[in-house]
Amino acid sequence: MAEQKNPLTTPSPNADTTIVPPGSPHTHTEQPSGGHGGAFPPFESHTFLSQLIWLALAFGLLYYLMSKVALPRIEAILGERSNRLSSDLGEAQRMKTEADAAGAAYEQSLREAQAKAQGIAQDTRNALSAEADAKRKALEAELNQRLAASDATLRARTTEAMGNVRSIAGETASAIVERLTGQAPDQATLNRALDAMPATH
Amino acid sequence: MAVSIDPIHQFELQPLVSLGHIGNQQLAFTQSALYMFAAVGIIALLTIVATSGRAVVPGRLQALAETLYEFIADTVHQATGADGKRFLPLVFSLFMFVLILNLLGMIPYAFAVTSHLIVTFGLALVVILTVVIYGVAKHGTHFLGVFVPSGVPKPLLLIMVPIEIVSFLSRPISLSVRLFANILAGHIALKIFAFFVVQLLVAGAWGVLSPLPLALTIALTALEFLVAALQAYVFATLTAVYLADALHPGH
């Protein structure tokens, strides 16, 4: 075993010369312990301590950097982003609610205005029709009054005319009787004859 | 030419700075260590520099970092429940470390750190030690409930408890060997098939067959990218599952 030979044959001051052996014709000088070219590098146990030390240093440094700097920072970034997202979503939700409320209020006032406008239109229509009704009624009353007045006049004239008919008939009858008999009938007989006549209308 | 033929050559550690010996252990800053720190740098770039703006609307890199975070956070949450969040940095670090090292290994001529068993075993050891230490500290002897499946008749426990113990002890081994073997085998297979192309091309008339291993190499490359990501995910998921035991020892 070449690596066991090293500490025995070469004391530590000469360590460098064992790493790159000067005369090893069949290998290419990278064999750390020299002499045996057929060794399988991962199983060369004389390199283990060195590798473990460097591994511990490198991995220790990595662990320190990750646990103290990198991961807290990334976690903070992710936390801040999710906070930001949820607060932004909340804000958007709030704004949407406000917009909905404003929309509802607008609808409401629109409905009220429509109702008001309809009310005004209805009132105006009612007032106008009432006024027209009143005028029409007044006109009708006046017309009825005039009609009644002219009716009364007509009736008075008719009565008057009918009264005249009796005296005319009496005079005519007395004249006819005088011409026929040569003697005028007395007024009483004439009245009796006139009364016997049926009323002619 | 001898170097490129050898499919094992790519796994050799090349010391950049030698630091001497302790016993028979050779200490050196190798390219493996360089890749580890490069991975740490890349991860820091991705998760720290890219998020430095703390933008509410993320850019591409920040979105990638956030996606990775949420992915691992979901995995940990599903496996361990709400109180597993304390282990998120560990699982996230393991996932990113393994993922970036695997992906760095996919760059041509680059070195795959996770193809070394001792590295993956070291990572698995971190997981298991965390499970045991946290489990014992939090639950005391009650942590031994891990080995006693609930709802099993008493006589069966004679068989079940040893099985559970063996299963528990084999976790770090299976965790580390799975990752190591996948990456190692993938890289060896890629190297071998890619070298078939070259061998066929220099073999005269056989050269007409060279598109076959080339197509296979391309397909394998795609597969290796899948394996690189999948093994990182498997490592992280199993870590989360094992950590769930530390949080809730009674099955």
For A32, the closest of B26, B55, B119 (CB atoms) is B26
What ipTM, to 2 d.p.? 0.90
Phi/psi for B20 (5° steps) reads 95, -165
Closest approach of A42 to chain B, Cα-based (Å): 5
For A66, which of B13, B89, B184 is closest by C-beta distance?
A: B89
CA-based nearest distance B125→chain A, Å: 11
Residue A87 CA to residue A77 CA, distance in Å, equals: 15
Chosen for mutation from B9, B16, B21, B91 (greatest number of chain A CBs closer than 10 Å) is B21
Enumerate the residues of chain B whose CB falls inside 8 A of the CB of residue A44: 13
pLDDT mean by block of 10 residues, chain B; 251 residues: 66 87 87 95 94 86 93 94 90 96 93 94 95 91 84 85 92 94 94 90 85 93 96 96 87 56
Instruction: State residue B83's pLDDT score.
Output: 86
Nearest to A50 among B2, B28, B58 (CB): B28
A67 has a pLDDT exceeding 60: yes
Task: For A146-198, write each residue's pLDDT tens digit.
Answer: 999 999 999 999 888 888 888 888 888 888 888 888 887 888 887 888 787 76
Phi, psi angle pair for B164, to nearest 5°: -65, -40
A69's CB contacts (< 8 A; 6+ apart) are B48
B117 CB neighbours in chain A (<8 A) are 42-43
Choose among B226, B225, B227, B218: nearest CA to B197: B218
Chain B nearest CA to A97, separation (Å): 27
Domain residue ranges of chain B, discontinuous segments joined by +: 2-247
Give the per-residue pLDDT at B4. Answer: 54
Query: Among partner residues A6, A47, A65, which is closest to B44 by beta-carbon distance?
Result: A65
SS (H, E, C) B188-225: HHHHHHHHHHHHHHCCHHHHHHCHHHHHHHHHHHHHHH
Mean pLDDT, rounded, of chain B: 90
Residue-wise pLDDT tens digits, B194-215: 999 988 888 888 888 888 999 9
Q: A99: distance to nearest CA of chain B, Å?
A: 28
pLDDT digits (tens, 9 = 90+) for B91-118: 999 999 999 999 999 998 899 999 999 9
CB contact under 8 A, B62 and A77: yes
Closest alpha carbon within chain B to A29? B14
Contacts 24+ apart (CB under 8 A), B12-21: B12/A30, B12/A31, B12/A32, B12/A41, B13/A30, B13/A32, B13/A41, B13/A44, B13/A47, B13/A51, B13/B116, B14/A30, B15/A19, B15/A32, B18/A15, B18/A16, B18/A19, B19/A50, B20/A12, B20/A15, B21/A6, B21/A7, B21/A12, B21/A15
Dihedral Cα B178, B184, B186, B191, nearest 10 deg: -170
Among A4, A62, A78, the residue with its CB nearest the CB of B93 is A62
Q: Mean of the pLDDT values across residues A55-84?
A: 94
- The yes-or-no verdict on residue A18 having pLDDT over 90 is no
Contacting residues of B for A21, CB less than 8 Å apart? none
Q: From the CA of A36, how many Å to the nearest CA of chain B?
A: 13
Q: Which of B6, B26, B115, B176 has the highest number of chain A CBs within 10 A, making it the mutation to test binding with A?
A: B26
